[in-house]
Amino acid sequence: MIRRRLSRTDVVQAAITFIDDNGVQALTMRRLGAALGVEAMALYRHVPGREELISAAVGELIDDLFNDDLMQEKPSSWEGYFQFVANAMRKLALTHPKMFPLMITQPPDAPWLRPPLRSIRWVDYFLTSLKEYGFSDDRAVNAYKAFTSFLLGDLLLQVSALGVSPVPIAENSSDEQDNENLGDYPTVQRLQSKLAENHSAREFDDGLDDLIERLRTAMDS
């Protein structure tokens, strides 16, 4: 591959890919430089430092989602709109599971920008849309708050479940060892299969339906 001159976008995109592949902790100016075929110090021409690079990577993902995808389409009902946004956010979280914790952990730019919906421009658009769907000011703000906390809770849980090593590496990997550990916890043991069942997609949709239902009755009242 012939190396063009580096741009800020190149660096930020490379950081996203690197974090997706190796995790944040592995992201090093020297290693990212090497991945780009350049000395670490060249990165400082385009980005002020490591911390800011990570912020920029988060911002890039957010901006791509909200500018390129979410502002193009607008369903005819607010229920459909919520589902549209939720599914897009879910897809982003599952496509970049190593980035998602960063998206929600970095302090937001303003007190009323609630993760993971961290784009002022987009939040404005969202609230404006809710008004068009007939929400009052109070209902719109409440819906925004309820929606963010639903997304946060459900998506982080899904993402963190991905981080669990599927087969916990034990030096003594006989079944007996595992069962012995669980033996002290009879209810967990009995419900183990139910607890381990991963219906995250359905649970996400159900939770969203519940939320929508709650907001609907709140609107009618």
Which residues are at the interface with DNA (CB under 7 A)? 5-6, 27-31, 33, 38-42, 44-46, 49-51
- Asked if 161 contacts 124 with a C-beta cutoff of 8 angstroms, the reply is no
Fill in the per-residue mask, 53 to 82: x = in contact with its own copies (CB under 8 A), - = not in contact. Answer: ------------------------------
Six-digit token pair at 29? 């100016």
**Shortest distance, CB of residue 168 to DNA, whole angstroms?**
21
Site for its own copies in 155-214 (CB under 8 A): 156-157, 160-161, 163-165, 168, 184-188, 190-192, 194-196, 198, 203, 207, 210, 214
Q: Smaller CB distance to its own copies: residue 41 or 110? A: 110
The verdict on 112 binding its own copies (CB under 8 A) reads yes
**Shortest distance, CB of residue 76 to DNA, whole angstroms?**
47
The verdict on 138 binding its own copies (CB under 8 A) reads yes
Query: Which residues are CB-neighbours of 41 under 8 A, at least 6 positions away?
Result: 29, 33
At 73, phi and psi to the nearest 5?
-110, 140
DSSP 104-142: HHSPPSSTT--TT---HHHHHHHHHHHHHTT--HHHHHH
The verdict on 108 binding its own copies (CB under 8 A) reads yes
- Asked if 116 contacts 103 with a C-beta cutoff of 8 angstroms, the reply is yes
Dist CA 218 CA 143 (whole Å): 10
Taking Cα atoms as reference points, which of 156, 13, 136, 133 lies closest to residue 84? 133
- Asked if 124 contacts 83 with a C-beta cutoff of 8 angstroms, the reply is no
Residues that bind its own copies (CB under 8 A): 101, 104-105, 107-112, 114-115, 120-121, 123-124, 127-128, 131, 137-138, 140-141, 144-146, 148-154, 156-157, 160-161, 163-165, 168, 184-188, 190-192, 194-196, 198, 203, 207, 210, 214
